[in-house]
Amino acid sequence: MKNLDKLLSWLQTSEYDAVILGRRDNFKWITEENANAVVTNAEVGVAHLLIEKDGSVTVAADSSDCSRMETEQNALRAKGMLIPWYESFEAHLKDYIGDRTFASDTGIVGTDNVQSELINVRMQLSEKELKRYRKIGQECAGIVEGVAMNARPGQTEQEIADKIRTGCIAKGISPDCVLVGSDERRYELSGVFSESTGIICKRRMFEGMEDAPSGRTDRIWLQGIYSNTRDERCN
């Protein structure tokens, strides 16, 4: 079953007439190949998909991106809704919605935020997604093992982490948090990695860098990569 069919099945059983998807991960998931991101440090992209119960799909974006999204990032063959860049994006959405009941993955224009329900819809992976995850897992393992084998005493933790990031980016993998610990810090990072979320790991790692006695390694320990993979499957 295609991901659009999964979403439409959920929509048919809901109280909503349509759902608006603006998050980067949901956009990538529903299209199975397209991206609505311009910058990589934002949760929401530059285009929103409006998916209605009857199966019709509209892609809404401002005049800077609408044409590109409609012609280059449109696996669902959505109809374009061009919103002038100098006008209110939300006002246009409100006019389009009218007296109908829409949900969304962000709560835009006061719609019900159903992101937690969408996570459940996405939970059952397709065969294509399973193959992708196996491949990315092998690639990440190879990157970490390669860096570990070539790391040498005297390198800083930051230098080693950067080599892992570079290896990931070269393969199209976006690493959110790379944890590298040397000497006694390997025990601290082990607990952080196993007990905390990626955001907490990231904060602790950069705070800890300043506390490292010398910033250089005698013994090197690599926990691994906490990452949003190429299909940006983040919840």
Task: Give pLDDT tens digits for 166-196.
Answer: 999 999 888 878 888 776 665 554 454 443 3
CB 11 within 8 A of CB 53: yes
Same domain (yes/no): 56, 133: no
Of 170, 152, 128, the residue nearest 31 (C-alpha): 128
Q: Which of 67, 94, 122 is the last residue of a domain?
A: 122
Of 54, 55, 46, the residue nearest 21 (C-alpha): 46
Same domain (yes/no): 117, 135: no
Q: Which of 69, 90, 122 is the last residue of a domain?
A: 122
Of 165, 116, 128, the residue nearest 143 (C-alpha): 165
pLDDT reported for residue 219: 43
Same domain (yes/no): 7, 118: yes
Same domain (yes/no): 200, 97: no
What is this structure's pTM? 0.74
CB 192 within 8 A of CB 220: no
CA distance between the termini of the chain: 21
Q: Which of 90, 122, 154 is the last residue of a domain?
A: 122
Express each pLDDT in 31-87 by its tens digit.
Answer: 998 999 998 788 999 999 999 999 999 999 999 999 999 999 999 999 999 999 999
Task: Return all residues near 200 (Cβ < 8 A) that are at least 6 apart.
Answer: 192
Amino acid at 29: W
Same domain (yes/no): 72, 103: yes
Instruction: Count structural domains, the chain.
Output: 2
Domain that holds residue 15: 3-122
CB 222 within 8 A of CB 147: yes
Amino acid at 131: K
Express each pLDDT in 75-117 by its tens digit.
Answer: 999 999 999 999 999 999 999 999 999 999 999 999 999 999 9
CB 130 within 8 A of CB 47: no
